[in-house]
Amino acid sequence: PVSRIELLDEMSIRAFNQSVKNEELKPMDEKATLFFEFAGHSESSVMADLSAARAVCVDDFEGSNFVSATDETTRSKVWAARHRLYYSSIALRGGGDDDGNGATSQSTIVTDVCVPFSSFADIVSATAEDLRDMGVFGTVFGHCGDGNYHAILPLRSDDTEEYKDKVFKVIELMTERAISVGGSVTGEHGVGYGKKKFLEQMYGAAGVSLMQTIKTSIDPWCIMNPGKIVDVDLGLGAIK
């Protein structure tokens, strides 16, 4: 069976290519790319699954550059673009530059949503288009096996307020689209402060009210992560 399926968009591959310097790694065609990992009880079963995947990707959907490997060293090279995506994305916005204005891991936003399989490709493509249309740099990648996808959005210290507003607009559109197709505002990174405003769209006022009731019953003084996920009123004004 397939144990992992990862999707990287065109900008993710570009970030990887820019990070390849004097290494044994080869630049890749800058196209949206799928990465598979197969596992099985025998080599023959794994190779059968690999052959089936190749037929679907190449023959049915006209994919190109289908590469496979079984030894650990070559497999690591095949998966390198995915494994180093976070830091290569930061580097593409000046991470490590001498002027000190480049993006860092502390200034980089990583956000995610989760959508049904039937909407996955369209929603991921729409987010990549938002980034291009708004002139925002970001890389988009997803875990195709569970419908969860992410955007890595590095910020520089010299970014304008207008640019930052565009970044948060991308996140807003990404989240609203996920809700519109029956998805979730997050799959891994959580609701926190930033996405609690979307919960009523997902669960309705009654659903959020129930969450508030549960919150106050186990944390009556709101000392555990105050202001996250839901707002609660302690009689002294809402905790936000």
How does 8-44 read in b/e, with b if 16+ C-beta sit within 10 Å? bbbbbbbbbbebbeeeebeebeeebbebbebeeeeee
For residue 233, what pLDDT is reported?
A: 78
Predicted confidence (pLDDT) at residue 99 exceeds the cutoff of 80:
no
Predicted confidence (pLDDT) at residue 236 exceeds the cutoff of 70:
no
For residue 95, what pLDDT is reported?
A: 72
Tens of pLDDT along 175-201?
Answer: 999 999 999 999 999 998 999 999 999
State the Cα–Cα distance between residues 124 and 113, nearest whole angstrom.
10
**pLDDT confidence bin for 1, thresholds 50/70/90:** confident
Tens of pLDDT along 135-184?
Answer: 999 999 999 989 999 999 999 999 999 999 999 999 999 999 999 999 99
Predicted confidence (pLDDT) at residue 38 exceeds the cutoff of 90:
yes
For residue 238, what pLDDT is reported?
A: 53
